[in-house]
Structure formats: structure tokens, C-alpha cells
Amino acid sequence: MSRESRRIRVPVLARVEGEGALEIDIEADRIARLQLRIYEPPRLFEKFLEGRAAHEVPDMVARICGICPVAYQMSAVSAIEAAFGHAPSPALLAWRRLMYCGEWIESHALHIHMLAAPDFLGFDSVLEMARAHPEAVERGLRLQRLGNRILEVLGGRSVHPVSVRPGGFSRLPDAADLAELREACRSALAEARALVHWTASLALPEDDQDFVCVALRHPEEYPMYGGRIVSSAGLDIAVEAFEDHFEERQVPHSTALHSFLDGRPYLVGPLARLNLNLDRLPAPVAETLAETGITFPSRNMFHSIVARAVEIQLALHEALRILEALPAREPALAAPPASRAGTGFGATEAPRGILYHRYRFDDAGRVQEARITPPTSQNQARMEEDARHALECLGLDRPDDTLRFHAERVIRNYDPCISCATHFLQLKVTRR
Amino acid sequence: MSRLRVIGVGSPFGMDRIGLLAAERLLGMRDRLPQGTEVCLRDRPGTALLEDFEGADGVVILDAVRGGRAGHIRCLDPGALQALASPASTHGFGVAEVLALAVALGRMPERVRLIGVETGGDPQAEPPPQLVAALVEQALRTAWECARQAAHVDDCQAS
């Protein structure tokens, strides 16, 4: 290849959730500019929420995403309850965790099978992959269906569920539905274990990078709901301190903000969670992971697909554990807590990583100000850093198509949900 | 007996509701449908639409289609629609993608009919009642055509 300047454009990134593009300018033997351009229109959810009553928030924020609505609901109720001085009961936390397990299972199963796996098996799309590996795609559909069924049973419907509210659920499932879920989770355990082995057997590229992982850390459990925010660089803070350490910046090429920790990009999501919470895996899941022969914590970003599979197995184990113990119903059906003026902070682990919410309420319990920081925003700067590193390692003298494919694969590996990320707009008014 | 499903697909907004509205009407018209026909309403089902193909030998899908002449009812060729499949995101996994996936997985029912209602330039417009009624009639005709074909196949196999 010549050493002249080249521009590589991926005008529409395929197999990511939402609409984004990638632009790379290569000058001689270096990348002069690499931008993950997120051009979906801003969605302005924080502004929609102003003036709304606290009880309306969970149903509104669920609309941010059809793949991970539960994450938005959970971070919202966590922040609302914190603002109103309400401590959720252990039973309520167990029911919420069960519901969250459903979302992890469906979201991860979709990404592994529909979006990521074609990259590692040499196909352009899941449609091509389905002809050659129908059993893998059928497995993905079965697991996704099970995750959706958990959401449907707990939340009334699988997309944008409606039962989550501050203080508790508006309704809980009956015994027959819970027994059906219990049996379905039990039957899927072997398949989930096999999925971990299958992802570990894929031809994943070699990769060794130095990046900072950020995730929640719970005193006892693998983190989903609650805990402190920790990093692989030694950070250990309460959720309330998030904005003291994490800085969001607007960049001209994206309608989503870029996030930095101490001025550096960082990683959230399954690989970061697993790297920081290996000691929180239930024994059978830890055994499966050990059987793969892959060493975690891992510095290979492509091990994210294995981490997702591990988290499916974990979510199934957790769902089954909760369904076998069946938490008490009454505390989880409690009335919403009394409102008061104040600010509440909430962070939970969405399938794609930490989802941070902050709400300021007036004394009538109406939202005065809202801030939502989704995981894809937090990963944006990291994705650009990774793509730059990956292309330089691959060799910039490769043909454009090779570089384009590899860069797309690197971005897809993060499972970015662009639709979730684009709900910020800083309006600059110039008057002449 | 035919194992036929009539599936209204859409969302609760504008012309995209029309498949759901027609299916809702058909739920109350079982005496005019071939015996054993199931009617389902599916709000943006994504890959879950595949579940409705299970155990069915015929499927009639009612949905709005973007563009064209507003209110024009069109019987679409499933093969042509599959060719448009572009599963770039699971947020955008629509009927075309589900059909293509069903073919790839060998899960396509023997008979698939798609009845689309063109939205023209205004997909936000409310579906007029006479258009819903016309879609219902077209769905009934198509369901009977599927049932007759299934019966013919059964007769041929029996002889």
C-alpha cells in the first residue's frame, strides 16, 4: 500500500444497537484522527423528566431502550428511594435481582449470537451464520426467549415492563408462573455452561491492552443492583461521589458525551465487571470459567464475549437461587415511599455496564433536575482508544477493507447501544 | 385441518397500528375464519415473531409498510421481502429479517402471506376505519386461500 493519506469511512456501523459511524484519517503511517460518530438525534430524556412525579420516572426512563429497559428502571428506583430516605427490604431487592437476571440473559444472548459471533465465525450477518450454525442461533433464540419470559412474568411484558415502581412492584407473579420460570431456568443451565465453552472456543483475536476497568462491587453478590463503584486503578467510592471522579465532555462529532476517569478513558461492561468481581462468582460458574483455560482478569478486550456468556450462566444460577427460595411477597408490594425534597443517586449494572442516575426532587416529589449517564457514553472514548490501538497493531498498510472490518469488529465487541447514549444536547445559542 | 395463524404486527402509533387493529377485529370474527385459525396481535415482536411460526403450516401477516400510496393494500411476496433483510441492529429486527432468519433456520411455514398497507408520505396518520375494514376482508380472503391450499395438499397426500 502507498504511504499517502487515506480516509476510511464506515458510514453506518452494522450490528450495533442504534446508528453510528466511524471515520479514520490515516496520514503516512499514523492515525491522525479516529472518531466514533454518533449522529442519532439527541433524545432529551433528562428534560422530559423535569416536572414529572417520582412515580412516573421508572416507566418513562424504560422507554430509553427496548433491550435494557429494566436497567433504567432499576437505577431510577434506586435513586428515587435514596432521595426519599427509603431503604428497600431484602425481599424487594431479591425480586428486583430476579428481574434484572432476565434482562442480562436476553440482552447478552442477543449480542453474542446476533451481533458478535458472526465476526468470529467469518460471516457478514446472523442470517449467513444461521445457515452454517443453526444450532448456535437456535440456542441464542432460546436463551433470549427465557430472559424475555422472566421480564414478562415479573414486569407484565418483556419490552418496557410496567411493574417497577419506587417502594416495590405494582404486582408480583403467581405461583404457577414462578414454577414455570424455575423449571425453565433449571433446564437452561447446561446450555448456558456449554455457551461459555463455545465462546471460549471461538477464534478470538490476540490482544493485550492496558485499560482501566470500572464496575460496581457488592459486599456479597456479583454486582447488579447496589454496591460501591470500584476501578482496577484503586478507585473505591460511594455512588454519590460518581460526579466527583467521572467527567463527561461533549465532543463535536457525537450526540453522546464522552466520559473520563481522572482524564483517562475507561471500560464498563461485562469484561470490566468480571475482571473486578471474579471472587463473587458462584462456585459452578467459577468452575466453568476455569475450564475454559482463559485467565481472568483479562486484558484482551475480545474476551468480552466470554464474559457475556459467563454472565448468562451467572444470571441463570442467580435466578434459580431466588426462585427456589421465593422471597416474601408483602414487603415487595409496599406502597411508594413518602416524597420529600432532596437529591438521590443510583447506579446499577446494565448489561452494558454502569448506568448512573441522579434526580433532584422538590418537596412535592417532582423532578427538578435529572442526570442519566448510560454505559455506552462511558465506553465511547475507550472504544476510540481501542480502535486506534487495534488498527495500529494490525498494521496501517493493510487494505482499507481489512482495516474497516477490523475497526467495526472492535466497536461491536463493546455492544454499544447508541440509542441509549444519545440523550444529551448542550444547546449553544448565538445571537447577532 | 389447516394450522393457520393470522398475525397483526405493529405498534400503537399512527398507521403502524393498522395490523393490530385488523387482528383485533378478526378476534371477534372466528365464524368467518377457517376452522382452527389462531389470531395473534404482536407489538414490535422482533425475533419473537419466529415463535408464532412454530407448529403453523400457514401464516398471514398484517402490517403497515412505509412509503407507496397511502392506504393501498398490497400482497407482498415473502421472497422479495426477505431480500430486503438487513439485520444491522436487533432494535431494527423487523418482519423481513424474521422471514430471512426463518428460511436460514429451516423454520419457514409452508405458506406465508404478507398483507401490507402502504403508509404513503404520512406514517403518523390515523388509519381510517374503512381501511381497517378493507384489510380485515383481505385477511379473510387470504386465510381461506391458505386453508384451501392446505386442504388440497392434504387431499393429494391422502390419495
Query: For position A423, what pLDDT does the model report?
Result: 38
Q: How many CA atoms lie within 13 A of A174 on its CB side?
A: 1
Query: Is residue A385 assigned to a domain?
Result: yes
Sign of the alpha-carbon torsion through B11, B17, B22, B26? positive
Using the Cβ of B85 and the Cβ atoms of chain A, whether some distance falls under 8 Å is answered with yes
Which candidate from B51, B91, B104 shows the least CB-CB separation from A127? B104
| A130 with B89: Cβ contact below 8 A | no
Please count the residue pairs, one from chain A and one from chain B, whose beta carbons lie less than 8 angstroms apart.
55
Residue ranges making up the domain that contains A234: 45-421
Helices marked H in A5-89 — which ranges?
Answer: 45-49, 57-61, 69-83
Residues from chain B contacting residue A419 (CB–CB below 8 Å)? 91
Query: For position A197, what pLDDT does the model report?
Result: 98
Which candidate from B44, B51, B105 shows the least CB-CB separation from A130? B105
Query: Is residue A105 assigned to a domain?
Result: yes
Residues from chain B contacting residue A141 (CB–CB below 8 Å)? 47, 50
| B104 with A130: Cβ contact below 8 A | yes
Residues from chain B contacting residue A108 (CB–CB below 8 Å)? none
Query: For position A425, what pLDDT does the model report?
Result: 30
Helices marked H in A256-370 — which ranges?
Answer: 270-276, 283-292, 304-325
Which candidate from A66, A127, A145 shows the least CB-CB separation from B87? A127
Query: Is residue A123 assigned to a domain?
Result: yes
CATH number for the domain that contains residue B137 = 3.40.50.1450
Query: Is residue A392 assigned to a domain?
Result: yes
Which residues face A34 on adjacent strands?
A24
| A115 with B105: Cβ contact below 8 A | no
Query: For position B126, what pLDDT does the model report?
Result: 92
Radius of gyration of chain A (CA): 21
Interface test with A, best of B13, B43, B47 (most A CBs within 10 A): B47
What H or E segment, with its residue span, contains residue A106? helix A90-110
Q: How many CB atoms lie within 10 A of CB A296?
A: 19
The dihedrals phi and psi of A372, each to the nearest 5 degrees, come to -130, 125
- Nearest Cα neighbor of B45 from A171, A138, A152, A20 is A152
Using the Cβ of B54 and the Cβ atoms of chain A, whether some distance falls under 8 Å is answered with no
What's the one-letter identity of residue A206?
A: E
Residues from chain B contacting residue A125 (CB–CB below 8 Å)? 87
| A14 with B106: Cβ contact below 8 A | no
pLDDT tens sequence for chain A (432 residues): 555 788 877 777 666 666 778 888 888 778 998 988 877 667 788 999 999 999 999 999 999 888 899 999 999 999 999 999 999 999 999 999 999 999 999 999 999 999 899 999 999 889 999 999 999 999 999 999 999 999 999 999 888 899 999 999 999 999 999 999 999 999 999 999 999 999 999 999 999 999 999 999 999 999 999 999 999 999 999 999 999 999 988 888 887 788 999 999 999 999 999 999 999 999 999 999 999 999 999 999 999 999 999 999 999 999 999 999 999 998 899 889 999 999 999 999 999 999 999 999 999 999 999 999 999 889 999 999 999 999 999 998 888 888 888 888 899 999 888 766 653 333 232 223
Q: How far apart are CA B122 and CA B124, in angstroms?
A: 5
DSSP A55: G
Cα of B85 to nearest chain A Cα, Å: 9
Cα of B82 to nearest chain A Cα, Å: 10
**What is the three-class DSSP state of A373?**
strand
Q: How far apart are CA A48 and CA A425, in angstroms?
A: 13
Query: Is residue A21 assigned to a domain?
Result: no
| B87 with A130: Cβ contact below 8 A | no
Residue ranges making up the domain that contains B49: 4-158
Q: How far apart are CA B9 and CA B16, in angstroms?
A: 8
| B44 with A159: Cβ contact below 8 A | yes
Q: How far apart are CA A291 and CA B47, in angstroms?
A: 32
Q: What is the pTM of this model?
A: 0.91
Task: Indicate if the pLDDT at residue B129 is higher than 80.
Answer: yes
Close Cβ partners of A24 (under 8 Å, ≥ 6 residues apart)? A7, A8, A9, A31, A33, A34, A35, A387, A391, A403, A407
- Nearest Cα neighbor of A373 from A99, A28, A45 is A45
Residues from chain A contacting residue B104 (CB–CB below 8 Å)? 127-128, 130-131, 134, 137
Interface test with A, best of B89, B103, B105 (most A CBs within 10 A): B89
Q: Which three cell numbers stand for residue A340?
A: 420529600
Cα of B157 to nearest chain A Cα, Å: 29
Residues from chain A contacting residue B43 (CB–CB below 8 Å)? 159
Which residues face A20 on adjacent strands?
A38
Residues from chain B contacting residue A137 (CB–CB below 8 Å)? 101, 104-105
**What is the three-class DSSP state of A5?**
coil
Query: Is residue A18 assigned to a domain?
Result: no
State the helix-helix crossing angle for A375-394 and A400-412, rounded to 10 degrees: 150
List, as one string, the DSSP characters of A171-226.
----HHHHHHHHHHHHHHHHHHHHHHHHHHHS-PPP------BEEEE-SSS-SSBS
B98, A426 Cβ separation under 8 angstroms: no
pLDDT for B97-106, tens place per residue? 899 999 999 9
| B44 with A141: Cβ contact below 8 A | no
Closest chain A residue to B100, measured at CA = A127
| A144 with B47: Cβ contact below 8 A | yes
Residues from chain B contacting residue A18 (CB–CB below 8 Å)? 89, 91
Q: How far apart are CA A324 and CA B105, in angstroms?
A: 35
For strands A342-350 and A353-361, give the pairing. antiparallel
Q: Which three cell numbers stand for residue B145?
A: 386461500
Interface test with A, best of B43, B44, B90 (most A CBs within 10 A): B90
Q: Which chain A residues touch B if contact means CB-CB below 8 Å?
A: 12-18, 66-67, 110, 114-115, 125-128, 130-131, 134, 137-138, 141, 144-145, 148, 158-159, 419
Query: For position B90, what pLDDT does the model report?
Result: 64
A309, A282 Cβ separation under 8 angstroms: no
Which candidate from B87, B91, B106 shows the least CB-CB separation from A125? B87
Sign of the alpha-carbon torsion through A69, A71, A76, A77? positive
| A115 with B90: Cβ contact below 8 A | yes
Query: Is residue A190 assigned to a domain?
Result: yes
Which residues face B10 on adjacent strands?
B43
Q: Which three cell numbers stand for residue B56?
A: 403453523
Q: How far apart are CA A253 and CA A262, in angstroms?
A: 22
Number of domains in chain B: 1
Task: Indicate if the pLDDT at residue B109 is higher than 50.
Answer: yes
| A134 with B47: Cβ contact below 8 A | no
| A67 with B48: Cβ contact below 8 A | no
CATH number for the domain that contains residue A220 = 1.10.645.10
What percentage of chain B has pLDDT greater than the value 90? Answer: 65
Query: Is residue A351 assigned to a domain?
Result: yes
Close Cβ partners of A210 (under 8 Å, ≥ 6 residues apart)? A299
Interface test with B, best of A17, A43, A103, A125 (most B CBs within 10 A): A125
Closest chain B residue to A135, measured at CA = B105
Query: For position B89, what pLDDT does the model report?
Result: 64
